[in-house]
Amino acid sequence: MVLRLFFKRKKHVLDENIPSEMKYLIVGLGNPGEKYKNTRHNVGFRVLDDFVKDHDAQFETLKLGDVATVKWKGRTLVLLKPNTFMNLSGKAVNYYLQTEKILLENTLVITDDIALPFGKIRLRGKGSDGGHNGLKDIQSKLNTQSYARLRFGIGEEFGRGRQVDYVLGEWTKEEEDTMDERIHVAKEIIKGFSTIGLNRTMSEWNNK
């Protein structure tokens, strides 16, 4: 009886260390602090803020980031806004992948993208960093480009040498007028990614 209980307990401990296929890490990229709140570079934070609000959850400041947990159709979504600043995003992503024991294929990173026109949204299963410092650091820390990313187009309406000012600038009134609808699409992609999977979600939402 004692041996049987020992083996049962040991199996339970091992099971706890196995990544769950029903658990997802959803990362919104941005910079912490009030001065960056409404900037184009922080659209990842903004999408997660809206998503968490929709599900009556709250962010809590923990190690390396603000974290919230949302239950959705039997899945557990761990939502992360790194507070390491954009250039060190990979440190927070890697930490929560390990700590929460989440599979890499269950990870989605939401980021701004100047290569896409404003409001255009693209979901991809892998790809280069495209010059984005947040994605570059994630790739470096994870040693792979093979993780899903939701690219939210912010356009490239800036002059030569003005890229930093543009991405760290605030949305125009015209952009703000359509943000709610565009963020809605991004939130639907999060839900689709965690339920029907990457490929079906890409097919359904990439042209919306």
Total structural domains in the chain? 1
Q: Of 41, 55, 132, 184, which is the active-site residue?
A: 41
The reply to whether 141 falls in a domain is yes
The pTM score is 0.89
pLDDT in tens, the chain (208 residues): 444 544 444 443 434 555 678 999 999 999 999 999 999 999 999 999 999 999 999 999 999 999 999 999 999 999 999 999 999 999 999 999 999 999 999 999 999 999 999 999 999 999 998 889 999 999 999 999 999 999 999 999 888 889 999 999 999 999 999 999 999 999 999 999 999 999 999 999 998 8
Query: Could you give the CA distance from residue 134 to residue 143 in angstroms, rounded to a whole number?
Result: 14
CB-CB contact of 80 with 27 (8 Å): yes
The reply to whether 13 falls in a domain is no
The reply to whether 4 falls in a domain is no
Residue with tokens 């480009």: 145
Query: Could you give the CA distance from residue 152 to residue 93 in angstroms, rounded to a whole number?
Result: 19
Among this protein's residues, is 132 annotated catalytic?
A: no
Query: Could you give the CA distance from residue 152 to residue 107 in angstroms, rounded to a whole number?
Result: 17
Distances (CA, A) of 146 to 109, 153, 183, 200: 11, 21, 24, 18
Q: What is the CATH number of the domain that holds 147?
A: 3.40.50.1470
Structural domain for 117, as ranges: 22-31+39-205
